[in-house]
Amino acid sequence: MIDTLTTTYVIMENVAGEDLEKYLRALGCLKEEEARPVFQQVVSAVHFLHQRHIAHRNIKLESILVDAAGNAKLCDFGMAIKTTEGQMLEETCGSLLYRAPEILARKPYDGLAVDMWSLGIVLYVLVTGHFPYVEATIEDMHRVITTTVCPIPYHLSFPCHIIIAWLLGVPTWHRMTIHQLVERPWLGHIQDHGLVATKEILPRIVNTMCTIGYTCEEIVSSLTNR
């Protein structure tokens, strides 16, 4: 991030890859051992947000980028909002297939809890290749979610099954929190699949940025200190 008197420039990472929806479309679904590192990295990102009381509110396969090395990175923060303890939100957001039942019911909702529901949908699709609930309207989605048992396939391991069941808990008090999720043995330690932060600053990028009016020293200092 580089600030001027009139403008803030945000320097973002270029992820040379595709979103998780396209990645998964080519494969059908993933085995649990393949899904685990991908999901773990997404959980790590959400854990970072929720520790700071930030709700993403639009977690979906298309909001997760996968780079050439298979690393998953959460993006699309247009609906993200910083919340306070106990704050209830009212704005309808998120894609229909990932939307929590309380949003479908048009009730005030906990932004962090709806993220957890969306994580449950993401994990379900990763290991099965399809969505647990597919209906055309908001009303039908809410009816099916609240009147049927989530169809979790029996071929999944019990630890994975439990995570999905708790993430897709209809009452929010029954839904797993991010702090509970990172403690689940199925995920392993949060740092096991985490990305290693790089301190490398590519000279060609700096040289290009120097052409827009900044000195190389200013650019390197801003990148290093932010």
pLDDT tens by residue, 51-74:
999 999 999 999 999 988 889 999
| Residue 225 reports pLDDT greater than 50 | yes
pLDDT of residue 69: 86
| Residue 96 reports pLDDT greater than 80 | yes
Q: What average pLDDT does range 211-218 have in this prediction?
A: 72
102-111: pLDDT as tens digits: 999 999 999 9
d(CA 112, CA 53): 8
Pairing of strands 72-74, 64-67: antiparallel
| Residue 191 reports pLDDT greater than 70 | no
Domains, the chain, ordered by start: 2-195 (1.10.510.10)
pLDDT of residue 103: 97
Q: Helices 32-51 and 111-128 sit at what angle, rounded to 10 degrees?
A: 170
Query: What percent of the chain has pLDDT above 90?
Result: 71
pLDDT of residue 4: 75
pLDDT of residue 114: 98
pLDDT of residue 193: 46
pLDDT of residue 212: 67
Per-residue b or e along 3-27, where b marks 16 or more CB atoms closer than 10 Å to that residue's CB: eeeeeeeeeeeeeebebbeebbeee
pLDDT of residue 208: 73
Q: Could you tell me the pTM of the whole model? A: 0.83
Q: What average pLDDT does range 22-43 have in this prediction?
A: 94
Residue 93 vs residue 3, higher pLDDT: 93
Query: Looking at this protein, which amino acid is placed at residue 17?
Result: G
d(CA 76, CA 200): 25
| Residue 87 reports pLDDT greater than 70 | yes
| Residue 195 reports pLDDT greater than 80 | no
